[in-house]
Structures are given as C-alpha cells and as structure tokens.
C-alpha cells in the first residue's frame, strides 16, 4: 500500500493544524484560544516557509552560477597558481559584468539565512516576489508579536484574544489559498481531515486542495466584520479612556502637578532630574505626546467602526496600539506606585 506522498503529507500537516484550531475556537475558552493563536502562527509560518523554498528553488541555476563567479573573484585575489589560472580565463571586467547581471536575480546567502529564521522577513520576501499582498505584512507583524508574548513571556492579551484569533484564522486561510504547490506526489489514501475537502480524491485535482480547504475552513468560522470593527474600537477606546483617567489620578495625587503635567512627566527620562523636581522646567520640555494626541487617538479608535477592509482595519488598530502602549505602561506603573505608597502609609 502506498503512503501519502511528501507534498500531500505537507498539506495534511497544515490542514490538520487548522482543523484543530477550528475546534479550539469553538470551545472558546482562554486556554484554548491561546493555543489556537500559537497553532495559527505556526501554520502560517510553515506555509510561508514552503512558498519561500519554492521561489528559492527557482533561483538555483543563477545562484549556482553566481557562487561560481564569486569563487573566481576570490581566486583572482588569493588563489593558488592553478586557481588564478582558471580565474583569469575571464577578464576582470567580464567577471564583474556577469556578477552584476546575475546579482539582481538572486537572493544572497545572508538574506537567505535571515529569511530562514525570521518570520517577518519571510512575509516581506514573499511580498517582494508578488506571492503575498503587501497589506498582510503589518497584520502578520502584530499577530506574530502577540504570539511571541503569549508563547515566550507568558503575557496574554485576554481582552482582545478572540478577535485576534478570528482575524488570524481568516489570514491563515488567505495565505493557504495563495499557496500553490509546485508539484504533488500522489497518494493512495489521505486522512479524514484532508479527505473532507476533496472526497473524490483519486479523480480530483490535488493542486486545488489549498484553495478548497481555505474556502471551506473560512466558511465554517466566518469573519463577522461589523462585530470585529466594534470589538477593536471598543478595546482601544476603553484603554485610552482608562489612560486619560489615570493621568487625572496622577495629577490629583502628586504634588505640584497642574492639568496637563502628568502626560509630560510620563515622557521624561528618569535621569532628567531638573524636569522631575521643577514644574516650570517640566512644562518647558518639548515632548512628542500631548493631551491633543490622546484625543486624536480616541477619534481614530472610534473611526475603526467605519473601516470595511480586514487588513486595513487591523493594521490601523496595530498602529494605534503601538503609538500609545509605551505611555500606557508608564501611566499604569505610576498609578501602582501611588497606590503602593498609600498602602504603606496606612
């Protein structure tokens, strides 16, 4: 009996993973959603890895030729007598012209190493090769960062976890849909997870599996865009309102602070003792974030309810979160310190 071919097995690995994510989403509890996020990130990276490998294989002829020319260049400078003899069969100008002709068509060794180990560089490379839309990169950047937080640092964004997982599932389906295996090794049998997307396995077109699976999986979960718009807008709006309240709390509980001073104080370096201890110096500092900045962010958060494109919506969400999160962290720390000092006095 034949075992599934290598390419079919690779497809099965990804589809079983996405099928498990589907089950975890339906459970809906935080531990399951956290695991779903990790599995989605792994599945997307695996698909991108295969897409990258495919495109690097297309370069192999030019890559090998270029490596040979680089070797001749080294031999001309530092080779043995016989190596220099081989290298001098081409003139220096001919050698450099050939290198210049081939380099634009080849991904360098250094970049290949970075692509191999870096999630985002894979996505950027595939955008450069017109294999992924550029709009996916900021979405993948943020979702991958969330994965790293929960996987490596035990930091879980519970309030936004379900919307993030639903977006990532839809994005994973988009990436799978764009994956086109260069070749498919036939199989005598496939597992039930794969077979449900193409029941007539023997007569069906195996190259259609990624598209069929992506379409079916997306149908089974669906992406409720209006609900997503509200969830993302509500999440950011709440955090921004809490930060505004926190700044007021700091001003009410700290000496010498007037309205507008707290946001300045949160941006001062710890070593700027003049600004820390002299309110007039503090107010003279030119700082990037103002109270108007916060009001603008609140308006932008509310405007998310009108963004009707998935990638644009989440990219704008990510930009806003990245803009205010460092300040938010300092505000929360300051509030904790005030409360801690109050507890010590009690």
Cβ atoms within 10 Å, residue 183: 10
For the entire predicted model, the pTM comes to: 0.86
Average pLDDT over residues 321-339: 95
Q: Taking the mean position of all CA atoms in its chain, how far away is CA 199? A: 34
Is the pLDDT reported for residue 186 higher than 60?
A: no
**90-135 pLDDT, tens per residue?**
888 888 888 888 888 888 889 999 999 999 999 999 999 999 999 9
Residue 166 CB burial class (10 angstroms; 0-12, 13-18, ≥19)? buried
Average pLDDT over residues 72-100: 86
Q: What is the mean pLDDT of the chain?
A: 89
As a whole-number percent, the residues of the chain with pLDDT over 90 amount to 59
On whether the CB atoms of residues 135 and 312 are closer than 8 A, the answer is yes
Of 45, 7, 183, the residue nearest 126 (C-alpha): 45
What is the predicted pLDDT for the residue at 190?
66
Is the pLDDT reported for residue 86 higher than 50?
A: yes
What is the predicted pLDDT for the residue at 5?
42
**296-318 pLDDT, tens per residue?**
999 999 999 999 999 999 999 99
As a whole-number percent, the residues of the chain with pLDDT over 70 amount to 92
Predicted confidence band of residue 204 (pLDDT cuts 50, 70, 90): low
**41-71 pLDDT, tens per residue?**
999 999 999 999 989 988 888 888 888 888 8
């Amino acid at each position: 009996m034949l075992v599934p071919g290598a390419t079919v097995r690779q497809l099965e690995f990804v589809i079983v993973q996405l099928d498990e994510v589907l089950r975890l989403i339906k459970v809906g509890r935080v531990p399951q959603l956290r695991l779903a996020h990790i599995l989605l990130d792994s599945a997307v990276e695996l698909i991108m890895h295969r897409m990258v490998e495919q495109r690097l294989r297309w370069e192999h002829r030019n890559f090998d030729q270029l490596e040979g020319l680089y070797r001749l260049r080294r031999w001309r400078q530092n080779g043995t007598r016989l190596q220099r003899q081989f290298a001098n069969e081409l003139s220096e100008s001919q050698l450099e012209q050939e290198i210049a002709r081939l380099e634009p068509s080849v991904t360098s060794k250094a970049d290949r190493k970075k692509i191999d180990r870096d999630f985002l560089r894979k996505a950027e490379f595939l955008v450069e090769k017109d294999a992924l839309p550029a709009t996916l990169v900021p979405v993948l950047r943020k979702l991958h960062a969330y994965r790293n937080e929960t996987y490596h640092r035990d930091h879980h964004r519970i309030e936004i976890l379900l919307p993030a997982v639903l977006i990532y599932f839809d994005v994973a389906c988009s990436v799978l849909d764009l994956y086109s295996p260069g070749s498919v090794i036939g199989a005598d049998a496939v597992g039930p997870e794969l077979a449900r997307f193409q029941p007539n396995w023997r007569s069906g077109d195996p190259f259609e599996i990624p598209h069929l699976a992506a379409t079916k999986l997306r149908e089974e979960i669906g992406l409720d865009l209006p609900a997503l718009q509200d969830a993302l807008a509500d999440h950011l709006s709440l955090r921004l309102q809490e930060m505004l309240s926190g700044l007021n709390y700091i001003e009410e509980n700290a000496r010498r602070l007037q309205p507008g001073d707290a946001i300045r104080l949160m941006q001062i370096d710890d070593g700027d003792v003049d600004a820390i201890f002299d309110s007039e110096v503090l107010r003279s500092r030119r700082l990037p974030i103002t109270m108007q900045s916060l009001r603008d962010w609140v308006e932008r958060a509310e405007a998310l309810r009108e963004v009707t494109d998935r990638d644009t919506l989440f990219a704008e969400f990510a930009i806003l979160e990245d803009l205010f999160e460092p300040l938010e962290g300092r505000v929360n720390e300051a509030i904790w310190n005030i409360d801690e000092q109050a507890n010590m006095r009690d």
